[in-house]
Amino acid sequence: MHDPIRRTVLASMALAMAGTLAGCDYVAQKKLIAGQHSEHDVRALMGVPTMVWDRADGAREWDYVRAPQGTETIRVTIGADGRYQGMENILTQANFAKARPGMTGEELTRLLSKPTQVEQFPLKPEVVWSWRWQDGGTKRRFNAHFDPATGRAARFTMTEDPQEVPGA
């Protein structure tokens, strides 16, 4: 794929798709009314969720991950009665602050949903999960550094999104 025209066309298509998905979220936020609309209404506006979580109270949480280009993961709550209860972006400072060393990948996925990127660094050795998010006007990454010996998060870092750094 060394053809610059093809790369430009593919990049444009990816951006258009990301914009369309973000537009669906905006429309859904404006149209859906808590308690009034059903899970079928949510699917009609937002599509199939990336991940589904069952809660002890019978409610479900649907995650709409907008990666790799998007900076939001929208979590929609569906009540035990099948009614829409609300939605929120879960890639926030408040949720990142809940991440603790020793957490498993499953626990972090439950907190933040599917990561944008997973990279393995054999020389370090560590595995890094990253979530792309928007911090005001800056795109950043929240990174969980896993110890391969334990499979648990050892530390967390916040970096600028390399896609946004000139020359990176």
> What's the pLDDT at 133?
96
Distance, CA of 68 to CA of 4 (rounded, Å): 21
* CB atoms inside a 10 Å sphere around CB 21: 19
> What's the pLDDT at 49?
96
4-89 topology per CATH? Beta-lactamase Inhibitory Protein; Chain:B, domain 1 (3.30.1450)
Question: Do 4-89 and 93-164 agree at the fold level?
Answer: yes
Domain 93-164 CATH class label: alpha beta
Q: Cα–chain-centroid distance for residue 140? A: 13
Tell me, what DSSP letter sits at residue 92?
A: S
- Give me the average pLDDT of each 10-residue run along the chain (168 residues): 50 40 55 92 94 98 91 97 97 98 98 96 93 93 96 97 72
